[in-house]
Amino acid sequence: MTDQIISSRGTLHVNDLSRDTGYSSRYMIKAFERHIGASPKLFSRIVRFQHVLELLEMKDYKKTLEQIFELGYFDQNHFIKEFKEFSLTTPRQYVIKGTAGPAER
């Protein structure tokens, strides 16, 4: 299951994972939490965040924002909120601070 989540870059929904594995959602979540220590949803969010960091390291802020739907976010606010939850900073501030390439202003 972890391989499927990682290969989808965190965009695979729990229901799709359940269907693909043949396990019920409830059983799959409990087993995943027991063996991984986190829910499949949280694990997916972490994998997705790591993918976003990779994109910010390679590209600029504006191009990453153009891809937020492909990255599995509903909108720009969802993207920024989740980014701040994991990094305690906004994506734009992350880029400006020099951790990634130059930001477009």
Q: What is the pLDDT of residue 99?
A: 54
**Phi/psi of residue 72, nearest 5 degrees:** 100, 15
Radius of gyration of the chain (CA): 15
What would the two tokens of residue 75 be? Answer: 């909108």
* pLDDT, tens digit, 9 for 90 and up, residues 41-77: 999 999 999 999 988 887 667 778 888 888 888 888 9
Task: Look at the alpha carbons of 12, 43, 76, 64 in this order and tell me if their dihedral is positive or negative.
Answer: negative
pTM: predicted TM-score of the whole model, two decimal places:
0.82
| Cα(64)–Cα(69) distance, integer angstroms | 10
